[in-house]
Amino acid sequence: MKYLEERQELISYGKKMKEEGLAPGTSGNLSVFLKEENLVLISPSGIDYFDLREEDLVLIDLDGNVIEGDKKPSSEWFLHTSFYKNRDDIFAIVHTHSMYCACLAAMRMPILAVHYVLADANTNRVPCAPYERYGSKSLAKKAVETCGESKGVLLANHGLVTLGEDLKSAFNLAKTLEYVAEIQVRTMAIGRPFVLNKKEMDQVIDAFKGYGQK
């Protein structure tokens, strides 16, 4: 079986996604892009992450043809491949139905810079793509269009998509955006939160580039 390490990583982040409450039921899916072969390793449709075995992950090409695996790929495979086709800076995608992101998506509101950590998404607002049925090609098209240069996009009345250079950063961004969305929803319940402007957020985005251990 090819890509054993990537398979184990996908299973481990799938479990984390459940444990952190980011994806109720069998919702939520994730993938990594294998650039050497132009293939995508993606979670299968409708299997609980705690029952998932390495061989259940599905290796597909960018047109959705199954290259390896006997399971059906996630119903959102077209959403994943559309991002990989349109963005050369991302190699992993996490899709969640987390509560506060889903609340804002139901309001069809962007996630605003109510906390500076939103800068992790490389934007000062995470936009919300117009409603389209889950799993549809039009959903994928609108999500990619709406996302622009951001690393996250909400899907109206549905959930969140995050993009990363690797699975860890895409997963961490899904957690961060849920945190910011929660602040936004809670502060909006008591009034009108102050929102950081583009200049303030650009300063944070710049500062983040040099943040952490070298």
Residues that bind Zn ion (CB under 5 A): 159
For residue 95, the minimal CB distance to Zn ion (Å) is 6
- 76, 132, 178, 182: which one is catalytic? 76
**Taking the CA of residue 46 as centre, how many other CA atoms within 13 Å lie in the half-sphere pointing to its CB?**
4
CB of 108 to Zn ion, least distance (A): 16
The residue of the chain with the least Cβ separation from Zn ion equals 159
With respect to Zn ion, which residue has the nearer C-beta, 79 or 205? 79
Alpha-carbon dihedral 105, 106, 110, 116, rounded to 10 degrees: -70
Shortest distance, position 161 Cβ to Zn ion, whole Å:
9
**84 φ, ψ to 5°?**
-65, -30
Rounded to the nearest 5°, which phi and psi values hold at 70? -110, 10
Euclidean distance between the first and the last CA atom of the chain, given in angstroms as a whole number: 35
Least distance to Zn ion, CB of residue 212, Å: 31
Nearer to Zn ion, 22 or 112 (CB): 22
Which contacts qualify for 138-147: CB closer than 8 Å, 24 or more apart? 139/76, 139/79, 140/76, 140/78, 140/79, 140/81, 140/82, 140/83, 141/82, 143/79, 143/82, 143/83, 144/82, 144/83, 144/86, 147/83
Q: Clarify whether 149 is annotated catalytic.
A: no
81 Cβ neighbours under 8 A, 6+ residues apart: 40, 60, 62, 63, 64, 140
When the beta carbons of 32 and 161 are compared against Zn ion, the nearer one is: 161
Q: Which residue, 12 or 45, has its beta carbon nearer to Zn ion?
A: 45
| CB closer to Zn ion, 35 vs 72 | 72
Catalytic positions are 76
